[in-house]
Amino acid sequence: NVFSGNIISDNYYGVSLYSSSNNVFSGNIISDNYYGVSLYFYSNGNMFFHNNFHDAVQASSDSVSVWNYSNEGNYWTNYTGQDLNSDGIGDEPYPINADNQDDYPLMGIFSDFNVILKSKVYHVTFICNSTVSDFSFKIGEETGNKIIRFNVTGEDDTVGFCRVKIPTELMNYPIIILGGEEEIIPTLLGISNETYVYLYFTYIHSIQTITLISSKTLHLYNELLDKYLRLQMDLYNLNFTYYDLLSNYAAFLGNYSQLQQSYLALNFSYQEHLLSYSENVRNFRNLAYIFAATTAIFLITTIYLSRRAHRGITTKTTVVEDDR
């Protein structure tokens, strides 16, 4: 069985289950009873979440049940825990007995309001330490803005808070929040996703009217701003790459200048070696000429002397023969 949206009050037992399992209780006001919930005789596996308890004995059970759903539990008026991270959920569990506890107790009263838009029903839920009333939704005729407005009441000059869950199909973030005429800066909770926006904000209870506005113009402005910031980042990265390339080019130019100087020095050395080689070739050629001339003179002299020696021997032989 599913029990939701009921006001259960002024009874000895607000809810009493006897050997009854797998029931779901959500979105109920269970108050001013002696026992808010009593579970007995194997009443296991029941689920309680988004209920508001204000009873003499909030819950009693000899069975094991679940006391939260999707990280949200119930509001217990005698819960003494804190909310140091400001998300509307208590930091410590609410103990019922050794086998049962609410791991995500609510810090304020749970409220659920319906919005019908284009034949579709949307649920806007609140966890709030104020009394929420006169909830309304409308679309601005001229601007097309979607507007939620509601009243909050509490002890004057005390701090109130609201944790609001809004379907993104109904209203897209960014959402402007006004407390009276002044803007309230909300916190976008980390559990927000493509389906739901979770906002947490605080105010002073002297404020009586809270307005949430989803502006088409602001949404377009934020889209353009996001694109502009991305373009700025791309430009920054491009400039960084350009200066990096410029630095590399300067280094390359320095290396090129060094190479050019080395080339000129090498070319100068080559020219010197070329001149030395030409001079050596010229000297070698001259030596060759001298050697050839010397050899020729030597050969001519040798031949000349040989002929003269031969002639002298021939003349002496002739004289000897004549003497005979």
Q: What is the predicted pLDDT for the residue at 305?
A: 78
Confidence of residue 18 (pLDDT cuts 50, 70, 90): very high
Q: What is the predicted pLDDT for the residue at 221?
A: 59
Residue with tokens 């930091």, as numbered in its chain: 91
More confident residue, 228 or 89: 89
Residue 96 has pLDDT above 90, yes or no: yes
Residue 121 has pLDDT above 90, yes or no: yes
Average pLDDT over residues 241-262: 84
Kindly compute the dihedral angle of the four CA atoms of residues 19, 20, 22, 27, in this order, to the nearest 10 degrees: -130
Q: What is the predicted pLDDT for the residue at 107?
A: 98
For the chain, what is the mean pLDDT? 89
Give the Cα separation of 94 and 67 in Å (integer): 9
Q: What is the predicted pLDDT for the residue at 292?
A: 81
Q: What is the predicted pLDDT for the residue at 268?
A: 84
Q: What is the predicted pLDDT for the residue at 287?
A: 81
For residue 111, give every residue at least 6 positions away whose Cβ sits within 8 Å of its Cβ, in sequence order, or none: 125, 126, 128, 132
Average pLDDT over residues 151-175: 92
Sort strands 57-61 and 52-54 into parallel, antiparallel or unpaired: unpaired
| Of 75, 49, 187, 188, nearest in space to 129 by CA | 75
CA 134 to chain centre: 40
Full-prediction pTM beyond 0.75? no
User: In this predicted model, what pLDDT tens digit does every residue of 202-251 receive, in sequence order?
Assistant: 999 987 899 999 977 665 656 666 778 888 888 888 888 888 888 888 88
Give the Cα separation of 244 and 60 in Å (integer): 71
| Of 124, 104, 112, nearest in space to 28 by CA | 112
Residue 79, phi-psi category: left (phi > 0), alpha (psi -120 to 50), beta (remainder) = beta
Confidence of residue 66 (pLDDT cuts 50, 70, 90): very high
Q: What is the predicted pLDDT for the residue at 116?
A: 95
Give the Cα separation of 305 and 199 in Å (integer): 131
Q: What is the predicted pLDDT for the residue at 258?
A: 87
Residue 219, phi-psi category: left (phi > 0), alpha (psi -120 to 50), beta (remainder) = alpha
Report residue 265 as tokens: 């020095």
Portion of the chain with pLDDT greater than 90, in percent: 61
Q: What is the predicted pLDDT for the residue at 7?
A: 97
Q: Per the omega criterion (within 30 degrees of 0), is the bond before 174 cis?
A: yes
Q: What is the predicted pLDDT for the residue at 223?
A: 63
Segment holding 257, helix H or strand E: helix 216-323
| Of 180, 202, 198, 181, nearest in space to 190 by CA | 198
Average pLDDT over residues 12-33: 97
> Residue 210 forms beta bridges with which residues?
150, 179
Residue 77 has pLDDT above 70, yes or no: yes
Give the least confident one: 15-24, 167-176, 285-294: 285-294
Average pLDDT over residues 253-258: 84
More confident residue, 216 or 166: 166
Average pLDDT over residues 105-130: 96
> Residue 48 forms beta bridges with which residues?
25
User: In this predicted model, what pLDDT tens digit does every residue of 266-296 receive, in sequence order?
Assistant: 888 888 888 888 888 788 888 888 888 888 8
